[in-house]
Amino acid sequence: MTSRPSLPQGTLDLLVLRTLAAGPRHGYAIARWIEDTTTDVLRIEEGSLYPALYRMERREWISAEWARSELGKDIKLYALTAKGRAELRARTAEWGQLTEAVTKVLQA
């Protein structure tokens, strides 16, 4: 049995911002999209996701509003703000530089 990799500090924010770039989603849908996209390599636990969402909302990277689901339940939808799009661009560039540097070291 292999263990799942742990996310480096700050990576969850980047993943959530990227997920919301495709459009508003509720918390469970954010976690599922990340899990589905990574073929379950990355699993996002509620205990990590919701504090990250609240933190990003305070930083005004995302906005949140209540809506009604198709099943008639109240859900909180999160959406990317202009400030969040700028943060996503900056963090994506940083991530690219970091992964390129680490790859160079590993291939040396």
d(CA 83, CA 59): 9
Asked if residue 29 is part of any domain, the answer here is yes
Asked if residue 1 is part of any domain, the answer here is no
Asked if residue 58 is part of any domain, the answer here is yes
CATH number of the domain that residue 101 is part of: 1.10.10.10
Range of the domain at 41: 11-107
pLDDT digits (tens, 9 = 90+) for 22-73: 999 999 999 999 999 999 999 999 899 999 999 999 999 999 999 998 888 9
pTM reported for the whole predicted model? 0.89
List the structure tokens of 34. Answer: 């990340």
Are 68 and 16 in contact by the 8 Å Cβ rule? The answer is no
Asked if residue 6 is part of any domain, the answer here is no
Reply yes or no on whether the pLDDT at 76 is more than 80: yes
Asked if residue 97 is part of any domain, the answer here is yes
Residue of 61, 62, 73 whose CA lies nearest to 25? 62
Asked if residue 22 is part of any domain, the answer here is yes
Reply yes or no on whether the pLDDT at 2 is more than 60: no
d(CA 65, CA 37): 25
> How many domains is the chain built from?
1
